[in-house]
Every structure is written in structure tokens, then in C-alpha cells.
Amino acid sequence: MTIQEYYKIIKTKIENGDFTFKTKDKNLVPTKDDAKNNSHLESIHYLMFEFMTDRKDKRKQFVFDYICQPKDVNSGELDIDFTTWKIEDFLREIMKLKD
């Protein structure tokens, strides 16, 4: 699966409200409608979160106040393993994503 295909799945799930919020502080979470209306940004936000999670980057706890967690992704066939990706390659692919 390419990152573009994965992005489209994530974005569709967010647009359809098929996600939950993960946060430490519920006061920092946008409304579900705001997240759906900004699905492009939230999808990229999620990909960055997953990239840092796969790479066990502990800084993610300081970077993300909340995350839109699409349901039924990041497992099985609906996943990209970012453990071997270089940050430059990841950012190059993120820059190609269009709303």
C-alpha cells in the first residue's frame, strides 16, 4: 500500500466521522465537525503521529495535544510500517498529498 492510498483511506474515515479522539486533555480537542471539515490536515496529522509511533519516538507526547484516530487502521492490511523510513522520504511523500 502506498502512502497516498493510506492517506485516502484515513481521510475518508475522518470525513465520514469514523474516528475517535485520543487526548490527554479533552479541552484541547476540536469538535467532530471541525475535524471532519479539516480532514486533509487531520489526516496528515495522523500520519505524522503514526510515523512517530512506529519509530518509537517519545517526542510525540509533546508534539500532539490530540489525534483523530481513524477506526480499523494501523493493523493488518490497513497499515504502513514506518520503522525503516527515513524522515526525508516521509516528508517528501507527505508533501505530495493533495486535498
Q: What residues make up the domain containing 75?
A: 3-96
| Over residues 54-66, mean pLDDT | 93
| Pure H helices in the chain | 3-15, 32-37, 39-54, 60-63, 87-96
Cβ-Cβ contacts under 8 Å for 25 (sequence gap 6 or more): 65, 66
Coil, strand or helix: which one is 21? strand
pLDDT, tens digit (0-9, with 9 covering 90-100), for 15-53:
999 999 999 888 888 999 999 999 999 999 999 999 999
Domains identified in the chain, total number: 1
Q: Which three cell numbers stand for residue 57?
A: 519516538
Question: 39-43, 63-67, 95-99: which has the minimum mean pLDDT?
Answer: 95-99
Give 86 or 77, the one with higher predicted confidence. Answer: 86
